Structure 1
């Protein structure tokens, strides 16, 4: 790809292969390269349940399917 805005090409390509969008793949790859869990600048409280669930899945948070929005936010912050 060679895009200088992508900090972790391997992660980016793996995420693209899994079906993630270009922008989501770039955000996740760059966050991992920066060792940052919060790969989206949107505050956790302003994100959708779907976004929080996806991030919880990426962080391998157990029990995420049964969590409320507040519980997901707390679990994501605990992993940070």
Structure 2
């Protein structure tokens, strides 16, 4: 395994669970966190978003960062996509 590749990647799966637990629709999250539809799409694909976006989502959901972001093992195919 090459050391230039990370073995972990960001996952926003905890975000979607937290949102559902709080009874919030994606549209509600977008409005309360002041984020665009394209940012929601990026989150859905586990792509990078600005730290300020994460902060606003935590504020909207009244939660901590670990409630919305996790780290998962990076598969060989996803490493090749990066």
The normalised TM-score by structure 1 is 0.29
The normalised TM-score by structure 2 is 0.29
Greater relative contact order structure (CA < 8 Å, 6+ sep): 2
Larger gyration radius, structure 1 or structure 2: 2
